[in-house]
Amino acid sequence: MGHDGPTLIALAAALSLSTAAAQPVLPEGEKSLVAVTRDGNRTPIGKVVFTALDGGQSAFRVQMDHTVMRDHFLSMREFKCLPAAQEISCFVPYPYPQPGTVSAANFAWLEHSLLFFYKQPADFGAKLWNGMIFRFSLTPAGLVGTPQAVDLNRIGAPPENPNQPPFGAMDRDDFTPGARWVQELRIE
């Protein structure tokens, strides 16, 4: 009692508009790729360029900033790595052709384009079984990726189906929170 119909309708419309405005959308244009480490530092390590396509998809292109990453010659191959006293995180480019597209419900190819492995500073060689893939989710502030464990040795040979990402949900394991030095990758 005491409320009239038009006031309630206006309030409901305002609430639905504010809820719709807060819904995350796919990024567009050039966005910064930022590594967030356990100590809270944010290090820009590259950029991702998004281009809208038909059907709710976007094409993307990852460009790592090699001035931030250090060269490490490991297992007879050069890797670009984010150094830290606690743990070194090395970028592993996905080695096969792939569609390079994302949608609001599927970030698999973006996740495969941002593969890393981790190693202790004193360790020698590339330990590809210590692989990391970042599971991305869409937030109002951008894309946030949390690390999951994968064995990068699986991409040592071309996939049988080049249109299907090799690391599905059953091929990934969550890390214990705080286990990895790089806690998040953010695209913002």
Bridge partners of 185, per DSSP, are: 35, 145
Q: Is residue 182 part of a domain?
A: yes
Q: Is residue 29 part of a domain?
A: yes
Domain count, the chain: 1
Q: How far is residue 10's CA from residue 126's CA, in Å, rounded to a whole number?
A: 61
Specify the pLDDT at position 170: 96
Q: Is residue 4 part of a domain?
A: no
pTM of the entire structure?
0.84
Q: Is residue 7 part of a domain?
A: no
Q: Is residue 9 part of a domain?
A: no
How many Cβ atoms are within 10 Å of 1's Cβ, its own excluded?
A: 2
SS3 151: coil
How many Cβ atoms are within 10 Å of 95's Cβ, its own excluded?
A: 11
Q: How far is residue 89's CA from residue 79's CA, in Å, rounded to a whole number?
A: 10
Specify the pLDDT at position 73: 59
pLDDT, greater one: 176 or 83: 176
Q: Is residue 16 part of a domain?
A: no
Specify the pLDDT at position 69: 85
Say if residue 144's pLDDT is above 50.
yes
Among 45-49, 66-70, 95-99, 173-177, the range scoring the smallest mean pLDDT is: 66-70
Structure tokens at 88: 């070194």
Q: How far is residue 131's CA from residue 147's CA, in Å, rounded to a whole number?
A: 9
Q: State pLDDT tens for residues 90-142.
A: 999 999 999 999 999 999 999 999 999 998 887 877 788 999 999 999 999 89
Domain span including residue 173: 25-187
Q: Is residue 1 part of a domain?
A: no
Q: Report the sign of the C-alpha dihedral through residues 151, 153, 155, 159, in that order.
A: negative
